[in-house]
Amino acid sequence: MKTILVIDDELGVSQSLSDLLSEEGYRVLTAWSGQEGMSRIEGYRPDLVILDWNMPVMDGGEVLRQLGLRPQAKDIPVVLMGPVKSLPGPERDRCAALLEKPFTVDALLATVESLIGKGGKG
């Protein structure tokens, strides 16, 4: 079963993504901050990270920088959610995919499937 880590400080968004992706057959881990997300990655290497850009303390940009510094994590694909048009180049280049908020469920699922394949549903 493919594992996805959702890092988002908004409980509603995180829970909605977790529910949706779980229904599609993915194992979903959640983290409410960039720091917690990095701890989760070190404890269990996910197949994909879905990352919010706007978070307090450690934002999406810092998480991307930290992932790039860790040999065991730098090849994990990252889907970044947020202000796609205003992202700096290095952060944009580090992402496997970008999703401008708000995005559709279909866009999210198509992006996830293109990066790691279908979940274990069915």
Domains of the chain, residue spans: 3-116
Beta-sheet strands, E only, within the chain:
3-7, 27-31, 48-52, 78-82, 97-100
Task: Report whether pLDDT(104) > 70.
Answer: yes
Q: What would the two tokens of residue 96 be?
A: 């496997």
Is pTM beyond 0.95? Reply is no
DSSP code of 25?
T
pLDDT band at residue 57 under the 50/70/90 scheme = confident
What is the CATH number that goes with domain 3-116?
Answer: 3.40.50.2300
